[in-house]
Structure 1
Amino acid sequence: MDSQTLLERFTSGDLRALARAITWAESGHPAGAELLRELRGRGNSRVVGLTGSPGAGKSTLTDRLIEEARRRGERVAVLAVDPSSPFTGGAILGDRIRMMRHYHDSGVFIRSLASRGALGGLAGAVVGALALLEAFGFERIFVETVGVGQSEVDIARVADTTVLVLTPAAGDAVQAFKAGVMEIADVFVVNKFDLPGGERVIQELKTTLELAPPRPGGWKPPVLSAVGSRGEGITELLDAIDRHYAHLQEHGLLEGGRLERARFEVESVIQEWGRRRTREGQDLITQVASGELTPEEAATRLLSNPEMSR
């Protein structure tokens, strides 16, 4: 399929064309870049990021949030950012399995993207995929991260609203405090609240937030409880997400967030270039290892003269 045909099918609302466009964008296909140039800036989706430690129940909450958003008449897309397979580089598709019941709903689109070793964080391709989903006309896009390392911070640069999912498990809240995620989350939800210790975690969060520096526009992050497996607390969670979006609109903060998303995408491209050049520039890497060059000297040569990486 050529890019013009794909664009025509995309603009006519063909979900298969959307899937192909995301594949092209994720793989770095030149036609994918052209499509993004043509489509970027269309649409106006509400982008919600969900992050938290593995096992916190993010996929279950996302599944329930899809259900609630559809009940409100919204078209919904989900990007599940999975850890890359160490063997194939592709996404590990565990998160998609939990949402399988929505697959026959034409108002729901679910896609896994590989983090591709992006320093433990989000792949830059996520932002390209977001642009395509917005152009396709989805009102709401959920981005679920791997929930480890840099991804918990990266998500705040990509989403309009960042939701941190915690559980009553011992040490969960403490780890969030240490990782600095407390500073970037806009909404907190303690999932699996039916387990012992849920109320204690909520009180710890509220106490910590009272000491936190003011948020833009004076936003005060709510601390909610939920039992995703039973669908409890989901309506309240989506309402809180919408209140935060309204806050961003009221205080003129949306445009700054979109600019930060574009900055993240550019930085991701630069990082990918650096990784590629490093893999190709084995001679320079050997010279760094032997002490003949400093890392700074090698990096300057690799980035300033493409021929040096061959």
Structure 2
Amino acid sequence: MRSKARQLLHNKFVVVLGGSALHRPAYKDLVLLLQRDQYLTLPQLKSKGEKSFERDVLVEGGQLGPMTNGTEYREVRQYCSGHHLLRFYFLTRIYSSCILEDLSASRILVHPGGHPGGLTWYGLESLGQYKENLHKFFGQIKAIVDHECLIVWAVTMPIGEKIKGGFLVPEVSHLAPTLRYDIIEANFYSGRLAEAYGLDVLDLHFHFRCSLQHRMPDGVHWPTLAHRRISSLLLQHATETWGVDLYDPPSPAGRVLQGYREDFGHHSFRPERPESPRPLMDSEDRTVDRRQPWTSDRCSPL
């Protein structure tokens, strides 16, 4: 999978916007995948704001500033090699005008569909502010970003009935029992609005709806295998959008694996195409316990 990721993202500027539950690990997994075929470790998943991660650099915030769980926390990271450039912006709101100018040169932009922290940090009016900011963000991003940029609206994964985390500040802790339903509402609203603005939608809530047993004990975060699957979903989405075929070097027997579908699988979708009926795991994820597949015919309740 590493060779295909390096081919697909060759000379591309990838920007990931979002929070700690999904988008920082997504950025880290891509950074690691571009260098070697390994999974993130649990300490790497949990850490935030470190000055360097797998040869990337902390550009702003994190350990360079106050390490808090509040709305004032900032973190900007960047990984740059000879032919790859990835950047991560930690956001507590969907809309942030201070970073829009930095996005004008990006070729792949990934943004969350409904971050749990963004729906709680700002109190009882968070969902209404979230919807208002969606229109601002979609309108300005379409005007600023190059028309060739692939903008992926990654709808947030399901959270548990009982959750805990730094984003649940005491003032809004009573919202925790209903937050999973607010996430569903935010996902639905943002996904339909993203389609109306002509953005691509990657419905991670749908893809992981039958894998709830794999969630971390806090009910919000997910393990390393889940984030590698997210990378697979994003890369597959890009291959289908750009209409490219990726090739492996010849095997010792001289056989060439032709086509990207064998490695990335049918995970992602564009708004105008129906969802594939058989989501597949990455064929190179050999360490997956097949006795407990990520998807099953019987789905756990949300």
TM-score, scaled relative to structure 1: 0.39
Name which one, 1 or 2, has greater alpha-carbon Rg.
1
Q: Which has the higher helix share?
A: 1
